[in-house]
Structure 1
Amino acid sequence: MLSAKSLFQEILDDDESFRLFCSIAASGESQGGWENARIAALVPESERALAPKITRHGADEDKHGRIFNALLKKRGLQPVLVPHETDYTMLLEKHGIGLAHEKLKAERPLSVQDLIIYLSHSRVTEQRAAEQMTMLRKYFGDHPVVGKAVKMISNDEDNHLAYTHEELLRFAAAGHGRFIQRTLRECALAEIRVYRDVSLAVMDHMGRILGWPKAKSALLAAGIHSMYAWERFAGWRRMVALRMPERCDALGGPATTAPEFA
């Protein structure tokens, strides 16, 4: 039976597919760590209270990158070069989602609108990350190899999502509601396209590594296209809704460490 659990188990059991999976994940997390660190350094004076939370967000992303690399090391594997078409973070930037790297590499302070763009991008992508980690936690939270990592990263992603809700609601209360909703919608519609394309590319690479028959690959591709159709019709709305989270001030403290992985 083809299921999310059986699919990931197959990827986990094979060295080459596991190496590609962890390499893609580590690369994206490390990129997110760099982006958050630069944003924290460029926060305008009027919003300096936000900088420690952005720094914490970036530190968590860096930690996740180290965790995925540590999982490879424990298995005696080295990271591989991430194929261009599977680079979710880079492709989002290419499609104009989030803050351009040129802006982050400059030394000019960001504006409040820049921060809203950053938070909107994060709110959408953290929704995706939190959902994926919830699924992995359900099926592999007790796994002897990846269980601890899955639980730790899942908890962090939930914190990140809560933080974006809270901060965007604060900016909405300050009069930026229309800009926030417009930006969230643009981010969500672009993200679901990029996620579809990256998912198809990742499954194509995994299929070749694992020797999947054409029928299996076609079925998975059809499932990805069906998910995109649902998200394009209505599913994207879950990525733009804002509500006060149960975890308030979720990034208010220092970043947690992962000594058993790093």
Structure 2
Amino acid sequence: MLSARSLFREIFDNDESFRLFCSIAASGETQGGWENGRIAALVPESQRPLAAKIARHGADEDKHGRIFNALLRKRGLEPVEIPHGTDYTMLLERHGIGLAHDKLRADEPLTEQDVITYLAHSRVTEQRAADQMHMLRKHFGDDPEVGRAVQMICNDEDNHLAYCHEELLRFAHAGHGRAIQRTLRECALVEIGVHRDVGLAVMERMGRILGWSPTRARTLAAGIHSLHGFERMGGWRRMVSLKMPQRRDALGGPAASAPEFA
């Protein structure tokens, strides 16, 4: 029977597919760390108290990249080049989601609207990350090889999501509510398409590595298309709602270290 657990068990048990999975994850997390670091450095003076939280977000993402690379090293594996079509962060930028890298490479301060755009982009993508990590924690939280990594990253993603809710609500109360909802909706509708395309590209590559039959490959592709159809019909709304989180000031301190993955 095909299930999320059996699918990821198969991927994790094969060195080459595990290598691809961790390489893609590490690349995305490291890219997110760089983006957050640049945003923290360019936050406008009116929002300087937010800079430390954005920097903490970036430090967490960098840590996640190191964790995935450490999982590779434990098996004696090196990262692989990210295949075309599997780079989630690059494809989001190409579709105009978030802040352009050209803007982040410049030394001009960001505007408050730029910060709102960043937070809205993070609200959507952190929902995706949190959903995926909760699924992995459910099935692999006690796994001797990846369990500790999954639990640590899952907790961090919950913190990131809580922080996005809290900060966006702060901006909404300051009069930016309509702009926030518009930006969230635009971002979510693009993200679900990018997620589908990346999912298809990753599964196509995994299928080649693991020798999946055409029938199994078509079944997995159909599942990805089905999820996209559900999200397109209204499932995307879970990615744009805002409510005050139970975890308040979730990024108010230093990033937790991960010495066991060093």
> TM-score category by the smaller chain?
over 0.9
- Which amino acid counterpart does residue 167 of structure 2 have in structure 1? E
Alignment of 1:212-231 (within 5 A): 212-231=212-231
Identify the residue that residue 163 of structure 1 maps to in structure 2.
Answer: 163
Identify the residue that residue 40 of structure 1 maps to in structure 2.
Answer: 40
Q: CA deviation at 1:221?
A: 0.3
Residue aligned with 2:260, SS: coil
**TM score, norm. by length of structure 2:** 1.00
Identify the residue that residue 59 of structure 2 maps to in structure 1.
Answer: 59
> Partners in 2 of 1:191 and 1:84 — Cα distance?
18
Identify the residue that residue 13 of structure 2 maps to in structure 1.
Answer: 13
Q: CA deviation at 1:84?
A: 2.1
Identify the residue that residue 154 of structure 2 maps to in structure 1.
Answer: 154
- Which amino acid counterpart does residue 241 of structure 1 have in structure 2? S
Question: CA offsets, 1:215-235, max 9 Å, x none?
Answer: 000000000000000000010
> Partners in 2 of 1:58 and 1:158 — Cα distance?
15
Q: CA deviation at 1:205?
A: 0.2
Residue aligned with 1:110, SS: coil
Alignment of 1:177-192 (within 5 A): 177-192=177-192
- Which amino acid counterpart does residue 39 of structure 1 have in structure 2? I
Structure 2 unaligned segments of length 5 or more: list them: none
> Partners in 1 of 2:49 and 2:76 — Cα distance?
42
Identify the residue that residue 194 of structure 2 maps to in structure 1.
Answer: 194
Identify the residue that residue 204 of structure 2 maps to in structure 1.
Answer: 204
> Partners in 1 of 2:198 and 2:52 — Cα distance?
32
**TM score, norm. by length of structure 1:** 1.00
After superposition, the CA RMSD in angstroms is 0.3
| Runs of 4+ more than 6 Å apart | none
1:68 aligns with 2:68: yes
Question: CA offsets, 1:231-250, max 9 Å, x none?
Answer: 00010000000000000000
Identify the residue that residue 140 of structure 1 maps to in structure 2.
Answer: 140
Structure 1 unaligned segments of length 5 or more: list them: none
- Which amino acid counterpart does residue 235 of structure 2 have in structure 1? G
> Partners in 2 of 1:243 and 1:28 — Cα distance?
27
> Partners in 2 of 1:17 and 1:74 — Cα distance?
15
> Partners in 2 of 1:131 and 1:227 — Cα distance?
13
Residue aligned with 1:260, SS: helix
Alignment: residue pair count: 262
Quote the sequence identity (%).
Answer: 77
